[in-house]
A = this chain, B = another copy of it.
Amino acid sequence: MEMQNVLIAGGWRASKNPVGSYTALNPAMKSALGETYPVSGEDDLYDLFETGKTAAEQLRTVSPDRLADFLELFAAKIEEHTDVLVEIANLETALPSEPRLRNVEIPRTTGQLQQAAAAVRELSWCRATIDTASNIRSKFGPLGGPVVVFGPNNFPFAFNSVSGGDFAAAIAAGNPVIAKANPGHPGTTTQLARLAHDAVMETGLPPGTVQLIYRTPHDTGLQLVSHPFIGASAFTGSRNAGLQLKAAADQAGKPVYLEMSSVNPVFILPGALRERGDEIAAELFGSCSLGAGQFCTNPGLIMLLKSEPTEAFIKNVADRFSAGAPGTLLTASGPDNLLNAVATLVTAGAEIIVGGEIAEADGFSFANTLLRVDGTMFLDSPTALQTEAYGTASLLVVADDIDQLKQVTAVLEGNLTGSIYTDTQGEDDDTYDIIEPELRPRVGRLLNDKMPTGVAVVAAMNHGGPYPATGHPGFTAVGLPAAMLRFAALHCYDNVRLHRLPLELQDTNPTGAMWRLIDNQWTQKDI
């Protein structure tokens, strides 16, 4: 069977000396989908890097407005081709066409691209900083090499390597992108890459601005994050794969942004439980089962204090887990991975309350699973009991008392999020003040009275957190323009003659609206 083309060196062409091929699966039917995709080897990579380097140089002379035009045109093309995108993404991921793919993820994806375009036009993202007395001026600029993006399996549009948040942020910061498709949805990625490349050509960007390959052997993959020509890379996926990429990138001195794993602890304090336990149980199951539990911010760890109301709450939650229909998982390995994760939790002392088994279904599926463990046991095996179970599988931790709950919090690994539910009358305030200081440094986003799923694309968002949730606690993967700073280098100009300065650092404010830090004051004025 003929293999799909790769997008390399400015056009679609056959993979050069591919080292293998593969086919995507329909997870709802466990059946192979038609197309065959190449596994790229050294020859494709050589061209990718050469082209990416040239494109990075060429992009330096492209105006911000042209970059923004590209991002907006690409968004418009995605909107225009929504039907075909939703159809193929549904086949490849089994995510519901509506509302999820069509009404949630497509608008989110186009919205991100449009926000990125607005940030590029507005210019404030680059944090222009000027000291007039010393005539030293600095701003963030592109990295000088392409950004390699590895997309995850759970957002075929909004985190896709060729259309998602990392893609938008990398391009908006002025870098070309080398996209490595997620093997779960190569057809969706092809469609998106076609639209992206068409938009590149129509807006007159360097033809190598967007490149795409589907898969590589393991060793070759490590080159993608460590090659001398690349600027940086971004990966969203499993901790195991992420750590291998991190080791290779670190060794080469290349920045790598990883979003690896998170169990997103949710604390439900006694007052909240008494005040609105049933409501919280409903919220919890809703959050745990959203997208069949395959979200980075899925609540995997539920923290409770031992009491009779807690037992009633657990019963309530367990009933909801039992009653809910298990969703379809994204990959063929999903059920076995969940089985292994549950086994790890059980071996470490957790008890299965509901589920724990592969579900019989047409598609890849796993029973909604709820486990529990007491605080003492958790403190005995904190690492094993923080194993991420990628699906609707959560572990309830029932602590003996507030002191033990604090100790449990103190052994948590770095997470993307941490939530604390409290009552509205102040009954939980003292406990909050004990738990929050332990939780705050261990999470990127702290929530009150809210489940962590649902990541608003706003400037104040932090979709990041301490290691091992990510590789660096100072950066966010969602929220513009902050996410762009991952793909930027700090460029300082010392005594550089005025006519040679970039637009953003000249005396005149280039848009009249751009915010610049001049002599330690943020201003939109000229010098």
Binding site for B on A (CB under 8 A): 56-57, 60, 124, 129-131, 133-134, 136-138, 140-145, 246-247, 250-251, 253-255, 414, 417, 422, 432, 436-437, 440-442, 444-450, 456, 458-462, 464, 466-468, 471-476, 482, 485-486, 488-497, 500, 515, 517, 520-522
Instruction: Rank and list the top 4 A-B pairs by shortest CB-CB distance, nearest first.
Output: A144-B441, A253-B467, A462-B492, A522-B522
On chain B, the residues within 8 Å of A441 by CB distance are 56, 142-145, 489
* Min distance, Cβ A333 to any Cβ of chain B, angstroms: 25
Shortest Cβ distance from A128 into B: residue: B460
Partner of A131, one of B440, B460, B467: B460
Question: Does the CB pair A472–B138 fall under 8 Å?
Answer: no
Partner of A137, one of B145, B246, B460, B489: B460
Shortest Cβ distance from A441 into B: residue: B144
Question: Does the CB pair B500–A448 fall under 8 Å?
Answer: yes
Question: Does the CB pair B473–A489 fall under 8 Å?
Answer: yes
On chain B, the residues within 8 Å of A436 by CB distance are 500
Question: Does the CB pair B495–A449 fall under 8 Å?
Answer: yes
Shortest Cβ distance from A253 into B: residue: B467
CA distance A414 to B437 in the complex (A): 40
Number of copies: 2
Question: Does the CB pair A476–B461 fall under 8 Å?
Answer: no
Question: Does the CB pair B144–A492 fall under 8 Å?
Answer: no
Question: Does the CB pair A253–B448 fall under 8 Å?
Answer: no
Q: A129-B482, A437-B57, A466-B144 are in contact. Are A492 and B522 (CB under 8 A)?
A: no
On chain B, the residues within 8 Å of A130 by CB distance are 460
Q: A134-B456, A143-B473 are in contact. Are A462 and B491 (CB under 8 A)?
A: yes
Question: Does the CB pair A60–B437 fall under 8 Å?
Answer: yes
CA distance A490 to B444 in the complex (A): 6
Contact sample, A vs B, 21 pairs, CB 8 Å cutoff: A129-B460, A129-B482, A136-B460, A137-B460, A138-B460, A141-B440, A143-B441, A255-B473, A255-B474, A444-B489, A444-B492, A446-B496, A447-B495, A448-B494, A448-B497, A450-B495, A459-B517, A474-B486, A474-B490, A482-B490, A515-B521
Question: Does the CB pair A458–B247 fall under 8 Å?
Answer: no
Question: Does the CB pair A490–B476 fall under 8 Å?
Answer: yes
On chain B, the residues within 8 Å of A458 by CB distance are 131, 133-134, 136
CA distance A474 to B251 in the complex (A): 18
On chain B, the residues within 8 Å of A489 by CB distance are 441, 444, 466, 473-474
